[in-house]
Structures are given as C-alpha cells and as structure tokens.
Amino acid sequence: MTEALGAKPKRILVTGGTGLVGRAIQEVVANGEGRPDEEWVFVSSRDADLTSAVETKALFEKHKPTHVIHLAAMVGGLFKNIRCNLDFWRRNIHINDNVLHSAYECGVQKVVSCLSTCIFPDKTTYPIDETMIHNGPPHSSNFGYSYAKRMIDVQNRGYFEQHGCRFTAVIPTNVFGPHDNFNIEDGHVLPGLIHKVYLAKQNGSALTVWGTGKPRRQFIYSLDLARLFVWVLREYEEVEPIILSVGEEDEVSIREAAEAIVEAMDFRGELVFDTTKADGQFKKTASNAKLRHYLPNFQFTPFRQGEKGAHHCMAVPPFSPSQTLLMASLRSQL
C-alpha cells in the first residue's frame, strides 16, 4: 500500500491512548480533526505490556499500523521521580526500544514519539530550543526518565540514517487538562494542586503547596497539544524534534498557578508554601520559534481558561450541575 495510491486508509496506532494526551487526541479526532482516510486505534497497557518485546510485536502485527503516535511511558511527578529514577530509566528504555523496533519491523511509515522538556540540560541558557537536547546532563531529580526520553531522539536518528525511517518526536512543555492523574504523590503539579484545593475545601483546612512556589513553567492545554500532534503526524517531515509549547511570555510560577486554581475553585482558606519540600528544576523556559515558523497563527487556549476546564474534569465526587455546565461551556470555546 502507498499513500499516493490511497489503496487503504491510514491506520494510526496510538500507544498510551487512554492517558491525558491520548484521550485529548481521541476527542479532537472525534470532534472534527479526523479525516475519512484515517483509521485511529487507541491502545493502553490493557492491550499489551510494551516492556515486553514479544507483546509489543504481537500488538503491531494485530493492528498493522501505517502510522504511530507513541505516548506510552512510565510517568510521574517530581517526588515519584526522585524515589524511582532507576525504574523510570529501565521501563521507559524497554518501552521505547520495543515500540520503535516493532514499527521498523512492521514497515510503519511514520512514528511520532512524545518527549518532555525535562530532557534538556539542567545547566543551560534560556530559552532552550531543539538544538540543545544533548548539551549536558538533565536535572538530577528525574535523570532516569530524562535520559530514557533523550534516547528516543538518538534512536530516531539511527533508524533514519540506517534504514530511512521517518521517526520523529515532539517536546511538549507541561501538559494539563481533562483525564489527568490527580494523585497528589505521583501526579504532576497542576492536577496535584487541584486535588489539594478540593481536599482543603472539603476539610476546611489550609492549602499547603510543596516547595517555595518560585519555579516557573509553561503549561499547554491537552486539547491544544492534541491538535498539534495531529498536525505533526500529517505535515511535519523533519527527523529532528519540535517543541510544542506556548510562548515564553506565557510562563507562570507555581505560586501563580496555585493562585489561579484557588480563584477558579473559589477556595477561601490560607495558602501555605512548605519550603522543606524540594522545588525541582527552577525553570525550563522553551522557545516555540520553530513551531511558530510552521504555524504562525496557531491559537493556544489561555492558561486560566484551560485550567478551569481541567479542574471540572477531576475524578472526585461530586460536582454540581452548574460546574458541569461550565465545563461544557469551556469545551465549546476550544
């Protein structure tokens, strides 16, 4: 089958298809981004253990994809990374190697893998861009995950140079949105904060944020990222990765993010910062100049609007009818 002849539709396999980004891609494809010549298959860990080469190959042979979006990974927040760096390294190295090699063996035309800005050197100049990935060691707090993700870029270049494969990767900044992991211990910063605010409201207690609140992050709404993933799959032809992010001017501190969540959830209690907890990397300011070169007019969802949509989708009971309506209203504006 060739794309030019259009003998069969593209069959797009999405690993990690039930996670934050996978669910967002499902939503945008279902709501107008899908095309008649595309068949989308979303799989999760229930379908195959991607740390197993045998199971991964069987998954590819079953679905026979022409294209792959590779999202599956062992992920977690700062404190889980600090505790389990070796686990993050080993599991992700196995997953990535199995997925990319199965894609090669099965003749997949294109793979788009998902990296993270944590792969960039800890000691660097800002803003960081796509040319700086391998310029030094990543932050020590999550070196296992960071190095495993970096190796995808190395493998992509290797598969291209040795076999001519069109394997590439995207580097999103901090993703948030509906269907996130709201676990306080193991989740990322925004869903963890949303969960903490919910509990503080329920218990009538202060809101305690771990760290000083000074680190700065760029947050991208999951539905925006999903639309960009679809664009990369269809249009982006480089092997070199591309940063998918809001602009440098949209960077916010953890304190500002916490204050936005407090406002959105109408929390009236005290906001306390526990400075005995680690901050992690202070900043990871990324340039989206390459993305803007390709898509100068792409419209990102404003942080406070996206954050409201995220907190109304938190899987804790129950939300009022008015909150449910607000969530639907926010979605309709995207």
Cis peptide preceding 127, ω within 30 of 0: yes
- Reduced to 3 states (helix: H, G, I; strand: E, B; else coil), residue 55 is helix
Residues 6+ apart with CB under 8 A from 188: 77, 174, 175, 176, 180, 181
Nearest CA to 192 out of 173, 207, 214, 172 is that of: 207
What is the H or E stretch that residue 157 is in? helix 143-163
CA distance 334 to 330: 7
CA distance 131 to 241: 9
Given 126, 145, 159, 198, the catalytic residue: 145
CA distance 69 to 65: 10
For residue 292, which amino acid is it?
R
Residue 140 has a CB neighbour count (10 Å cut-off) of: 12
Residue 145 known to be catalytic: yes
The percent helix, strand, coil of the chain (3-state, each to 5) is 45, 15, 40
Residue 82 has a CB neighbour count (10 Å cut-off) of: 14
Query: Do residues 183 and 232 make contact, with C-beta atoms less than 8 angstroms apart?
Result: no
CA distance 299 to 170: 18
What letter does residue 226 receive in the DSSP assignment? Answer: H
Residues annotated as catalytic (active site), given as ranges: 145
